[in-house]
Amino acid sequence: MASSPKSDTKKIDAKPGNGGELHQTASTPDTRITTNHGTPVSDNQNSLKAGTRGPTLLEDFVLREKIQHFDHERIPERIVHARGSAAHGFFELTESLAEFSRAKILTEVGVKTEVFTRFSTVAGGAGSVDTPRDVRGFAVKFYTKEGNWDLVGNNIPVFFIQDAIKFPDLIHAVKMEADRGYPQAASAHDTFWDFVGLMPESTHMIMWAMSDRTIPRSLRMIEGFGVNTFRLLNDDDEPTFVKFHWRPKLGTQSTCWDEAVKIAGADPDYHRRDLFEAIEKGDFPEWEFGVQLLSQKEADALPFDILDATKVIPEELVPIRVIGRMVLNRNPDNFFAETEQSAFLPTNMPPGIDVSEDPLLQGRLFSYQDTQLSRLGTVNFHQLPINRAKGCPFQNFQRDGQMQTQVFKGRANYEPNSLAQAGEDGGPREDPTGGFRTTAVPVEAQKVRLRSESFADHYSHARLFFRSQSEIEQAHLASALVFELSKVSLEHVRNRVMANLLNVDETLAQRVAEGLAMKLPKAADAAVEAIDMEPSPALRIVGKYPETLKGRSVGILVSDGADGALVTAVKSSVEGEGGTVKIVAPKIGGVKLKDGKLLKADGQLAGTPSVIFDAVAIILSEEGCAMLMKEGAAIDFTKDAFAHLKAIGYSPEAKPLLDKAGVEPDDGIVALGKAKDAFLAPARTRQWAREPSVRILA
Ligand code: HDE
């Protein structure tokens, strides 16, 4: 299906599935959309392509004007992905893909290539918090010997829309509302869900966005995906489709929603700080790099179109081949010069890697270069140290422009030239064998503004995702929908989303409707009826991450008179397993321990709540406990640790505080001083079994 050219002449009417379902009144000359220069727009859903599945045409001035205008909306922060944190590191190939690609970065095993990786949230501004429910950007710049390769991905393998022409609409809908300027960095509001309800193609992505993946525990614990389908080209220019994957060594881990909300207040820089501190202390985050490879024939045999970025290729169908690793081992020296000024371009690819005709990717090929011009203000942004090709020289006849830092020599600034024959330097020349070549994809079609029929199924993959989740993850997803839709004030908007959910899974729709105390509407008309695909357990996160203290953090709450030996025992055993320990005390100067020694605090209780830790130990004296039972911050510290499914170790004297905070015994509540592992084992993970006793989930 992926390649077979569809009949371009067949008109696909505006019907569900064509991205053209208009739940709006028809426009008149007074109300119709026009370009900035007044040309009426006939189709605001589809970009102009060579055939329904062909590449997007440069001729599409409607698309270009719309995206170009959008790209320049913010000065100087990024219009999307403004809030970001980054680090330097290296990529090392462990298995050659020489059979499929001629790119050196994919064929030279053992070679370490410098990388710069920027993680981001999407919707919030540069100064927004780190833990909203949001997709995370995962952009990697490889400084390869054959030019920079920018793999500009997300932590979710699919996207909201199928065609780049809808991107400005999507982002306008999710960002703060146009008149009131809020909410910041949140999808839980009318305009976002209005757009989503009107765009059934976003349903699959909504499942991911409402899953725990959008409230990650740490940037060190997110997966990364190239999202769009790309191609590899080997020495003989034979193409193979490819999907790119990053898998964190620490596993994919999330927070609880209530916890994420509280972290936003306790530490707005939670993820940025976590990444910086981990690298600072030599605890370098690492990811496996994997590919899913498909021949044209294999792509054609799939029951969906691999050019459609709202679809996922289950690992069970096409396994992920791990071919390399990335380690981030150096923090930026200067946030502005590096993290802020880094400019990622999906068009940055070495020879041997190529794009596909995915209409989302096609629009991206234009957008990123364009947005940098507005953000960084000059065509010479590639000369900034962070963006410069480092693995190889860059040289051409592009000249001058604002902020030109190179001093070019010689007379020739054009090609061809024959100055070399006169003994002068004629400058660089094209390289037909080693240079970048494009896959020879046959394109012979009518120019059309249509969506391919093979993109029309909007629900099967959403169903696949939901049904592949563990019970607990399904409950979180349903509860997230209840939360978000509870923030929607327009009833017709809520109803439309519910009508789409009914096509995904009736039980899900039922649970959400119950959570909202609303009646279920009729299911939305589906362009194509959803099919039941084989569930893909690989899409879960609970139960998959390694249970370890490595990369995790334990907070020890202490009071005057606490047992220092116990504090030392917990600290050294956690640190012995690679975890981090922070001492929390009522006063930042620290506490006087039972033996009279002073123990300094890393954080003061009111400013260091338990939400920023993965597990806590509460080691108090009797008097200390009596005092802290009158301190709201100590009660919240304990209560939240329990509600957020964390292990709590306690000294016997601290028990009254636990009782006051409503802590009930379970495997994660451990009296310290017994077997060492009694606390360490539950501290290595979250106590999922506790959840039903602390929260009513949808
Ligand atoms: Fe982006 N995107 N995007 N995007 N995107 C930008 O470029 C755009 C899309 C992604 O850390 C912008 O340099 C369009 C998918 C990341 O600096 C802008 C479309 C994916 C980053 C832009 C998409 C992404 C961006 C804003 C629909 C996952 C941050 C600043 C066709 C594969 C990179 C900038 C960084 C940034 C456009 C969709 C990932 C406006 C038009 C799909 C990680 O050019």
**pLDDT per residue as tens digits for the range 211-249:** 999 999 999 999 999 999 999 999 999 999 999 999 999
Residue 118 Cβ inside 6 Å of ligand 1? The answer reads yes
Please say if the pLDDT value at position 76 is more than 90.
no
In a domain, 597, yes or no: yes
In a domain, 685, yes or no: yes
Residue 579, C-beta contacts closer than 8 angstroms, at least 6 positions apart? 549, 550, 551, 552, 553, 554, 614, 683
Q: Does residue 362 contact residue 106 with C-beta atoms inside 8 Å?
A: no
Residue nearest atom 8 in ligand 1 by C-alpha distance:
364
Residue 4 has a pLDDT of 39
653 residue type, one letter: E
Report CA(369)–ligand 1 centroid distance (Å): 11
Pocket test of ligand 1: the residue of 49, 152, 225, 357 to mutate, having most ligand atoms within 8 Å of its CB, is 152
How high is the ipTM of this complex? 0.97
Instruction: Identify the active-site residue in 18, 81, 189, 271.
Output: 81
Please say if the pLDDT value at position 677 is more than 90.
no
Q: Which domain holds residue 673?
A: 553-694
Residue nearest atom 9 in ligand 1 by C-alpha distance:
364
In a domain, 390, yes or no: no
- Tokens for 309, please give them: 């970025």
In a domain, 325, yes or no: no
The pairing of beta strand 647-650 with beta strand 615-619: parallel
Domain count, the chain: 1
Question: What distances in angstroms separate CA 83 from CA 168, 185, 459, 526, 544, one per listed residue?
Answer: 18, 10, 31, 37, 28
What CATH number is attached to the domain comprising 626?
Answer: 3.40.50.880
Annotated binding site: 78, 118, 167, 364, 368, 375
- Tokens for 519, please give them: 């009646």
Pocket test of ligand 1: the residue of 344, 347, 349 to mutate, having most ligand atoms within 8 Å of its CB, is 344
Report CA(654)–ligand 1 centroid distance (Å): 50
Ligand 1 atom showing the smallest separation from residue 228 Cα: 32
In a domain, 666, yes or no: yes
In a domain, 690, yes or no: yes
In a domain, 679, yes or no: yes
Residue 36 has a pLDDT of 87
DSSP state letter for 6: P
In this prediction, residue 13 has a pLDDT band, given cuts at 50, 70 and 90, of very low
Residue 24 has a pLDDT of 56
Residue 28 has a pLDDT of 83
Where would I find the beta strands (DSSP E) of 181-332?
A: 224-225, 230-233, 239-248, 286-294, 321-330
Residue 67 Cβ inside 6 Å of ligand 1? The answer reads yes
Residue 572, C-beta contacts closer than 8 angstroms, at least 6 positions apart? none
In a domain, 575, yes or no: yes
Report CA(387)–ligand 1 centroid distance (Å): 16
217 residue type, one letter: R
Mean model confidence pLDDT for the chain: 94
Residue 674 has a pLDDT of 67
**d(C-alpha 574, C-alpha 580), whole Å:** 7
In this prediction, residue 675 has a pLDDT band, given cuts at 50, 70 and 90, of low
What whole-number percentage of the chain has pLDDT above 90?
91
| Cβ neighbour number for residue 697 with a 10 Å cutoff | 17
Residue 94 has a pLDDT of 98
Please say if the pLDDT value at position 16 is more than 50.
no
**d(C-alpha 580, C-alpha 79), whole Å:** 36
Report CA(169)–ligand 1 centroid distance (Å): 14
The pTM score is: 0.94
| Least confident range of 86-100, 127-141, 388-402, 502-516 | 388-402
**Annotation says 154 is catalytic:** yes
